[in-house]
Structure 1
Amino acid sequence: MLKKNRLLRLTIVAIIAPICTLAGFSLMSKAPTNLGVQDGKLASCPNSPNCVSTQEKDPSQKMEPIPFEGDAANAIAKIKEALTKLPRTKIVEEKEHYLRAECASLIFRFVDDVEFYVDTEAHLIHFRSAARVGRSDMGVNRDRMQKIRGEVTGSLTKD
């Protein structure tokens, strides 16, 4: 009986310890200081597979920008509309040509930083989506940005 109780306790610790560690990483993660637009460019992706951007050269991180017509205000409004459809997403910064949101994962609340830059000269919406912690995101950032692209592209062609 004593061995069974000890084995049960060890099993519980083996399960709970990693969960608490992951939750701790989530709670301690802060927004990177290099976010925003500098000279028409969003921050580069880190050298890990948990980031996608329209301004990257690496094909594993590269996505195409979203073309648009009209002005930046209309493009930003369409992006905001698409973001409101994503669960656990909040807009944390908005400027005339720039928008940043934070998207949290369901269980551990890991935060991904999602940025948009509206280039009015080229009529393109550039974006970047990156996990704050960890190495792999299981394709979540790419999937999210494909979903947003579909929403924004669809709404821009309806007007």
Structure 2
Amino acid sequence: MTKLNGRLFAILLIASYLLSVISIQIAAPDRIIDPGDFPEKCPEDSLNCSMISPNSHRSGGLVELRFNSDLETVMQEAKEWIESQPRTELIGEWTNQTHSVFKSLMFRFPDDFLVSGFCEGGQSVIYVFSQSRLGISDIGVNKDRVTSFAIHMEGVEMPTSQCL
């Protein structure tokens, strides 16, 4: 391979990568999911969605996360975990829900990540939803993200208080 062919190959390779990343960003739907639109469940047999809720999906059977602390504290801890993650943008925040977008390292595939909270029996309860915006599989990324979030939240020491 001559020097010119090598340079041309490198330029074509970089251009192909950039075109792929741009195409992914254009093709991915881009909408904020409001608290009233929190998904009830993942699509049946989905390989790109994980959820901790009564309709749990790819979450190790977890149906909720419960805390003996007020909702504001719990949601703040969730927000801090989200903001500590690489390639993540918080795009919606309410008193009882956050909506963020995680992007994969190589091709910047966007995944929605939602945390929704409410009070029940004096405790804070949260549900978690994570889904790829494109494709049919996430290679386990959303399941790992939801599991990592649950492990983190269960390990956080929060002040004990009633959720009202």
TM-score bracket for the superposition, by shorter chain length: 0.7 to 0.9
Mark the runs of 5 or more structure 2 residues left unpaired by the alignment. Answer: none
When residues 105 and 56 of structure 1 are mapped into structure 2, their CA distance, relative to the original with a 3 A threshold, is farther
Question: 35, 47, 50: which one pairs with 1:49?
Answer: 47
- Letter aligned with residue 57 of structure 1: N
Q: CA RMSD in A?
A: 3.2
CA contact (8 A) 1:50 1:141 kept: yes
Partner of 1:155: 156
Instruction: Tell me, in whole angstroms, the C-alpha distance in 1 between the residues paired with 2:156 and 2:39.
Output: 24
User: Secondary structure in 1 aligned to 2:117?
Assistant: strand
Partner of 1:92: 91
Instruction: Tell me, in whole angstroms, the C-alpha distance in 1 between the residues paired with 2:144 and 2:53.
Output: 17
Instruction: Tell me, in whole angstroms, the C-alpha distance in 2 between the residues paired with 1:140 and 1:96.
Output: 27
- Letter aligned with residue 52 of structure 2: T
Instruction: Tell me, in whole angstroms, the C-alpha distance in 1 between the residues paired with 2:31 and 2:43.
Output: 11
CA contact (8 A) 1:52 1:63 kept: no
- Letter aligned with residue 92 of structure 2: E
Instruction: Tell me, in whole angstroms, the C-alpha distance in 2 between the residues paired with 1:149 and 1:140.
Output: 14
CA contact (8 A) 2:111 2:132 kept: yes
Partner of 1:110: 109
Deviations 1:2-35 (A, max 9, x none): xxx8xxx99x97x7897566424421112356x3
Q: What's the TM-score, normalizing by structure 1? A: 0.76
When residues 79 and 61 of structure 1 are mapped into structure 2, their CA distance, relative to the original with a 3 A threshold, is closer
Detail structure 1 runs of 4+ shifted over 6 Å in the superposition.
Answer: 15-18
Does the alignment pair 1:23 with 2:14?
Answer: no
When residues 69 and 110 of structure 1 are mapped into structure 2, their CA distance, relative to the original with a 3 A threshold, is same
User: Secondary structure in 1 aligned to 2:74?
Assistant: helix
- Letter aligned with residue 42 of structure 1: P
- Letter aligned with residue 148 of structure 2: K
Instruction: Tell me, in whole angstroms, the C-alpha distance in 2 between the residues paired with 1:136 and 1:101.
Output: 19
Q: What's the TM-score, normalizing by structure 2? A: 0.74
Partner of 2:141: 140
Instruction: Tell me, in whole angstroms, the C-alpha distance in 2 between the residues paired with 1:94 and 1:58.
Output: 23
Instruction: Tell me, in whole angstroms, the C-alpha distance in 1 between the residues paired with 2:151 and 2:135.
Output: 27
- Letter aligned with residue 125 of structure 2: L
Shift of 1:42: 3.0
Identity across the alignment (%):
26
CA contact (8 A) 2:110 2:133 kept: yes
Instruction: Tell me, in whole angstroms, the C-alpha distance in 2 between the residues paired with 1:19 and 1:56.
Output: 40
- Letter aligned with residue 49 of structure 2: C
